[in-house]
Amino acid sequence: MNAPEGLTPPVGETADCQVPSRAEAEAAVRTLLRWAGDDPDREGLLDTPARVVKAYEEFYAGYRQDPKVLLQCTFEETDGYDELIVLRDIRFESHCEHHMVPIIGVAHVGYLPQNRVIGISKLARVIEAFAKRLQIQEKLTAQIANTIDEVLKPRGVAVIVEARHQCMTTRGVHKPDATLVTSRMLGELRENASTRREFMAILGNPSSRLG
């Protein structure tokens, strides 16, 4: 597969798809502009196809990132630290795979280390790599937790994601205050109720953080 100029090929589940050229992508935007009822040749829209394609490179950058690679660099010098590590309020922007409109939310990640820990920025980057794809929130939550569990091999993992979906806040049922909350617990954080309660206590009241 040849990637368009300026792009690296997608990784993971999309690696086998044929990536259109930039010119083809811009032509598709022009078609949508005409379909919406406007003239892509008028002054205000002349550069819109190029701008949209450039924005899509940012919105969907996760297709060209391998989240597992982001977790490869770990640290073993922890002086025996084996308690919960929690990174909360990690803001992300994603896009609904059904309507291609924004999903905006926060993720909270916790894990019980086993001999090694990961740099906290890498946790945020894993969330970003999965969020910058077309998503449903349930799948996003599972992907984050499963990847941390597979690569880091901790004693337990917890991920909670809360987000607002513009597919139901700006269209359809028009419920602007609705928030979807999803979670995935693995290992001791699934099996041990007291450890799970400790994680939830550290988070406090997550649902108040979306504003």
Is 98 a known active-site residue? yes
User: Which pTM does this prediction carry?
Assistant: 0.88
Is 97 a known active-site residue? yes
In terms of Cα–Cα distance, which of 204, 173, 199 is closest to 186? 199
- Please enumerate in sequence order all residues whose Cβ is within 8 A of that of 162, keeping only pairs 6 or more positions apart, or say none: 105, 106, 179, 180, 181, 182, 206, 207, 209, 210
Contact by Cβ (8 Å): 63, 129: no
Checking if the pLDDT of 12 tops 80, the result is: no
Catalytic residue among 65, 95, 96, 188: 96
Catalytic residue among 13, 24, 97, 191: 97
Which of the 8 DSSP states describes residue 209?
Answer: G
Q: What is the pLDDT of residues 131-161, one digit of tens each?
A: 999 999 999 999 999 999 999 999 999 999 9
Catalytic residue among 137, 162, 166, 188: 137
CATH of domain 12-63: 1.10.286.10
pLDDT range class, residue 14, cuts 50, 70, 90: low
Residue 76 is predicted with a pLDDT of: 86
3-class state of residue 3 by DSSP: coil
Relative orientation angle of helices 48-59 and 22-36, to the nearest 10 degrees: 110
| Calpha distance 71→85 (Å, rounded) | 15
How do strand 85-96 and strand 134-135 relate by DSSP bridges?
A: parallel
Is 174 a known active-site residue? no
Catalytic residue among 95, 165, 166, 188: 165
Q: What is the DSSP code string of 28-80?
A: HHHHHHHHHT--TTSGGGTTHHHHHHHHHHHHTGGGG--HHHHT--EE--STT
Catalytic residue among 108, 135, 166, 167: 167
Residue 177 is predicted with a pLDDT of: 83
Q: What is the pLDDT of residues 38-97, one digit of tens each?
A: 999 999 999 999 999 999 999 999 999 999 999 988 888 788 889 999 999 999 999 999
Select 77-204's CATH number: 3.40.50.1100, 3.40.80.10, 3.30.1130.10, 3.40.50.620: 3.30.1130.10
Domain segments of the chain as ranges: 12-63, 77-204
Is 99 a known active-site residue? yes
Is 137 a known active-site residue? yes
